Structure 1
Amino acid sequence: MVVLFFVYDAVRFSRKMHVLTSEQKNVQIIGHAGRAFFSPLNPFNPLPPNSRQSLLAALHEDGADGLEVDVHVSRDGIPILYHDETLNTMSEGKGRIEDLLADDVLRVAYTGGWFYDLFHDEKLISLEDLLREIPKQPEYPYLHLDLRSYNPSRNAFFAQSVMRLLRKYHYPLKKLSLVYYKPDLLQAFRDVEPQAKLYLDISGDFEKSLKTVLGNRLQGLVADGKHMDAAKMKLARYYNLKVILFGGKARNTIYKMILLQPDAIEVNNVKAMRAMVR
């Protein structure tokens, strides 16, 4: 029955989808935490977000133009990839990464429950683990760093730790986007690297968020595709802001985001989006 539903959904979608213009197709496809989140169906994904295999599969197998990763900084200044606020949710560890030493976090095993754990053996990795893989790509992929910090007193330390590592690997600034939901941490990155591209992760009141973006001279905004529409997009473009949308596993949802013509989509189903814009 489930298979029949997905076949019907695919046929219905193909009938209603109009041919995309070259302008609409000109959007960066960013793997949301790699292959995104645990998913039992359509697409089946047993890989944890931000895990090594998830990130590399999005690039090598799915055709992503880049990756969105969630970056914490350990107590001793090591940028580590993990999505949630605490390790309790998807790993065998406990607590916030920023309160722990890197040696106590790295190589901690991911867990998504018995079903998903049958299909993976992933452990937490550092941002440096990912950057070591980048030279193996034909060219640098776009890299969106979704910053995870919970202590404003560490802002300068956080920014210095991340930028020091990126400079070590000579990551081009034109391929980097730094994202946070408050301007204070983004300002700390500007202090360390004035040319960094800074984006506000917005939710709730769009006009209030827009004022924050403009008041802090940020380059753009990141928004859930479900909460964005043509009017909001037009307003952002009026102020020459870049727009990144995220989400989208179902083809219909991805298609609606593409029609809005954002600069990039951090998508939960890279393969489906790549098929639409190829």
Structure 2
Amino acid sequence: MTKIFGHRGSAGTHPENTMISFEQAYKDGADGIELDVQLSKDGIPVVIHDEKVNRTTDGKGLVKDLSLLELKQLNAVHKFKKLYKQAEIPTLEEVLEWASKKQTIVNIELKNSIVPYSGMEEKVLDLINRYNMKHLIIFSSFNHYSIARLHALAPELEKAVLYMEGIYKPWDYTKWVGGNGIHPHIKAATPSIIQRAQAAGVPVRPFTVNDEKMMKRLFDEGCAGFFTDYPKIAVQLKYQN
């Protein structure tokens, strides 16, 4: 059964990567949520997509240059100011505490391709262990060195390589770098790639799937899962099928 992941929560209708958005994805019936992790200036894993806070908050500057206290003072309601007065940038710990109670899957994307956050993998693994979340975590990253590092540190955890364009035999490639799944851009997730990868025991979860026809195609093909900004629509389609 194809699993539906709320991309940054229910990011199409709620402020992305906030507790408001994650709560909504859960209410919408998503199997899991997807979020992005970076480190604050004082080394705390925080949930935000861009390397800068400019787009999604009322602040300016790089995440890595702001302390947790400074990040917490920002308002992350983004383009949903009319609907919500205030939303904080959550720490990863806050999200894991919530998700451990809900027993919902969390796809953690490590955002370390542009800013090389030292020790990020260890800090995130420490939190996962603290909340006994190993069975509910999928790691992903565009930085495949990070996937290899995670594999060395925690071989039992599920990991997937993120990629935008064609990789030759991605089902073999992900195993080679220490992953066990692939998260291609939807344009790189052809029916043949999905079928061949999953026949090789490698789950495929494309991003970001907001088109209903494409959602239906993935359900019909038995794709392992996909990421969407509109989990409510995806869940409704899934149970119509």
Q: TM-score when scaled to structure 1?
A: 0.78
Aligned 8 A contact 1:229 1:260 in 2: no
Tell me what 1:101 maps to: 67
Tell me what 2:126 maps to: 164
- How far apart, in 2, do the equivalents of 1:260 and 1:206 lie? 21
Structure 1 counterpart SS, 2:205 = strand
Q: Structure 1: which 5+ residue stretches go unaligned?
A: 1-25, 38-44
Tell me what 1:128 maps to: 93
Seen in structure 2, the aligned counterparts of structure 1 residues 176 and 130 have a Cα distance that, compared at 3 Å, is same
Deviations 1:44-85 (A, max 9, x none): x2x21111111001102x011111111112232211111222
Seen in structure 2, the aligned counterparts of structure 1 residues 208 and 242 have a Cα distance that, compared at 3 Å, is closer
Of 124, 131, 135, 1:174 maps to: 135
- How far apart, in 1, do the equivalents of 2:26 and 2:38 lie? 22
Of 246, 253, 277, 2:214 maps to: 253
Aligned 8 A contact 1:107 1:125 in 2: no
Q: Does 1:85 align with 2:47?
A: no
Aligned 8 A contact 2:182 2:202 in 1: yes
Matched residues, number: 237
Aligned 8 A contact 1:245 1:257 in 2: no
Tell me what 1:15 maps to: none
State, as a whole percentage, how many aligned pairs show the same letter. 20
Which of the pair has more CA radius of gyration? 1
Tell me what 1:241 maps to: 202
The alignment's C-alpha RMSD in Å is 2.0
The one-letter code sitting in structure 2 at the alignment partner of 1:244 is R
Tell me what 1:56 maps to: 23
Displaced runs of 4 or more, over 3 A: 208-212
More helix by share: 1
Q: Structure 2: which 5+ residue stretches go unaligned?
A: none
- How far apart, in 2, do the equivalents of 1:33 and 1:236 lie? 25
Aligned 8 A contact 2:148 2:179 in 1: no
- How far apart, in 2, do the equivalents of 1:255 and 1:202 lie? 22
The one-letter code sitting in structure 2 at the alignment partner of 1:133 is W
Q: Does 1:143 align with 2:110?
A: no
